[in-house]
Amino acid sequence: MSGAILLMVLGLLMLLSFLIVVFLKNLTQDIKIHAQLLGSADLKHHAYNGLNVVWTGLEEILEVHRDLFSPLQGWDKVISVSKIKVPEGIQLKVHIEDESGKIPLNNPDKRLLLNLFNLFGDYLDSQALTQSYLQWLRRKPMEVTLMENRTLPGISSQKEKTTDEKAAGENKNASEDPHGNKPPGIFLPTCLNSYQQLAEIESFQKRFFNKGSFCDDTLKRLKECTTLLGSLPININTAPKDVWVCLSKIFSIDLEQVENFMGKTEQSQGRGKYYKSIAEINKRGHGNLKLGQSSSEKKKDDAQHNVVEKFVGVSARILKVEVEVLHADVSYILTAIFKVDKTPMQRQENKQQAKSLTNKGKNNYSKEKHVQRGAALKLVTLQEGRWES
């Protein structure tokens, strides 16, 4: 009898222990989720503060140097120089990338495309890829029923919140049929909005998207030297080596001299340099950006110079700024696309609005900056999370 009672007590203790473990596990998950929600709101506030500091710091560099040439001007040091106060346990990371230092795919030049795709195959491969891509871009405008919450190339950020119904109403005269019926969706010009769209082209599908092969590495390499934002000219100060190789097949450029001038060894020793003008490349003997031809006709020289100016630049025009705030295993990422606005004017007021969270609970994030020299950073797109292309 005593043995049965003992077994019953032990069974009850085991059942009670099991219930306590389950309760504590569920409670821990609830506390963790609640902490993540509260922590995310707090990290969001710090991310917007960090973005504001980066914005102001880059504009100060732009005002002092009159241009944004290279990260060697101190782009990555604006946070440390500002001495922004970040609570203990919170880590603030900033990554700035110059999109104008890459080959634009939405505003392509045939010669650049041929040289670009030649990096991933022979001459016949580059011909096939270039022809199929240009044909894909020339297809009829596509109809979509839902706009993504991002700014497409050439579209202002003020259109981010435009709904399908509003956009269809604005295009009523151009797209309605004679009976006055509204179109079923929004008509957008065709352009490459994501690298995954390249899979629609058969030649690209075979080259970049075959599973179980080296194609993942080739697609990554393509992303590193191309951009879906901006247009020509290319900022040679931030251009990857693959881009320099493509340019060297059009212009007379000494890649070895360029690599020595802008080499990582020099930069690691604090002696990194960058070009401040196209003429400096010729002056230093690093290339001849007039295609290596000599002519006594001034008009012909001017025409060659214009061709160079079309392809080559020395300053940034489109910047992608990514601010990441981390606390334990919780992180918040904010991505902003900035355009360098060089509209000549005596005084300019720059004010942008976007969704945000501040300590006062306001819904608008605004920034006013007075710039004397007619150059400023204009916010084009602001989104939460990483910019996935």
What pLDDT band is residue 247 in, cutting at 50, 70 and 90? very high
| Long-range Cβ contact pairs of 348-351 (< 8 A, separation 24 or more) | 348/374, 348/376, 350/376, 350/377, 350/378
What are 293-325's pLDDT values in tens digits? 444 444 455 555 568 888 999 999 999 999 999
Per-residue DSSP letter, 98: E
Lowest-pLDDT range of 178-187, 302-311, 370-379? 178-187
Alpha helices (H) along 284-375? 298-311
- Name the token pair of 164: 């399908």
| Long-range Cβ contact pairs of 159-168 (< 8 A, separation 24 or more) | 160/381
- Percentage of the chain lying above the pLDDT 70 cut: 68
- Give the type of residue at 329: D
pLDDT at 151: 40
pLDDT at 344: 53
pLDDT at 133: 94
Distances (CA, A) of 203 to 134, 194, 206, 211, 227: 12, 17, 5, 15, 20
In the block, tokens 């110079």 appear at 305
Average pLDDT for the chain: 76
Question: Average pLDDT, stretch 288-293?
Answer: 62
pTM: 0.69
| Alpha carbon 226 to chain centroid, angstroms | 11
Say how far apart CA 163 and CA 169 lie, in whole Å: 10
Q: Which of 313, 310, 380, 248 is nearest to 107 (CA)?
A: 310
Lowest-pLDDT range of 182-191, 210-219, 306-315? 182-191
- Percentage of the chain lying above the pLDDT 90 cut: 39
What pLDDT band is residue 177 in, cutting at 50, 70 and 90? very low
Q: Which of 68, 48, 119 is nearest to 353 (CA)?
A: 48
Residue 288 has pLDDT above 90, yes or no: no
Residue 355 has pLDDT above 70, yes or no: no
Say how far apart CA 134 and CA 192 lie, in whole Å: 11
Alpha helices (H) along the chain? 2-65, 78-82, 110-117, 123-137, 164-170, 172-175, 202-208, 215-225, 241-248, 255-261, 264-268, 278-283, 298-311
Residue 117 has pLDDT above 60, yes or no: yes
pLDDT at 59: 94
Question: Average pLDDT, stretch 331-338?
Answer: 93
Higher-confidence position of 2 and 118: 118
- Name the token pair of 23: 């309760």
Residue 12 has pLDDT above 70, yes or no: yes
What are 227-243's pLDDT values in tens digits? 999 889 999 999 999 99
pLDDT at 290: 73
HSE (side-chain half, CA atoms, 13 Å) at 346: 0
What are 119-175's pLDDT values in tens digits? 998 889 999 999 999 999 888 665 544 333 444 344 344 433 444 444 444 444 443
pLDDT at 102: 96
Number of CB atoms found within 10 A of residue 205's CB: 13
Residue 282 has pLDDT above 80, yes or no: yes
What are 29-88's pLDDT values in tens digits? 766 655 555 457 888 889 999 999 999 999 999 999 989 999 999 998 999 888 888 888
Residue 331 has pLDDT above 50, yes or no: yes
